[in-house]
Amino acid sequence: MAAQIGRMSSKHPQLKLTLRRNTATWQGNWCPSDLSDSYLIRVTYTFRSRPVIAVLTPTLRLAEGKFKLPHTYMDSQLDICVHESDEWNSKLLIADTIMPWVSQWLRFYECWEQTGSWEGKGTNPEFRSHQSKPLA
């Protein structure tokens, strides 16, 4: 946990850290690219669990003709899916893996909102192939 906190603090100081027992939460503004909107995000990491990434504001809009947000858990922007279950484990640093994936997800979202086509790869979190496995 100390390595996660140290790396996030040094690489993403704009995200404010809150600690409670074995859970670290970072919150702040995130802009995935120079041409993107700014988003208020929250990353919650409980030791040896997958990080939960929430887009707090703005409310994400659906693409025309779509009925749910893609690549989210429970169809909610409060738990976006940025990786498949075998792509991340607790030995990897959130700052170096999860945060670039958050930017990528938001860029894919911005394109999807305009076109209705998700340009990223991956599976839907609802699919059995994507179900969480215990983390190392």
CA angle 70, 61, 115 (to 5 degrees): 65
Q: List domains and CATH numbers for the chain.
A: 2-118 (3.10.110)
- What pLDDT sits at residue 79? 96
pTM of the model: 0.88
The tens place of each residue's pLDDT in the chain, 136 residues long, gives 999 999 999 999 999 999 999 999 999 999 999 989 999 999 999 998 999 999 999 999 999 999 999 999 988 999 999 998 889 999 999 999 999 999 999 999 999 999 999 998 766 555 444 444 444 4
133: number of CA atoms within 13 Å, CB side?
A: 11
Question: Residue 4 gets which letter from DSSP?
Answer: H
First and final CA of the chain: distance in angstroms? 14
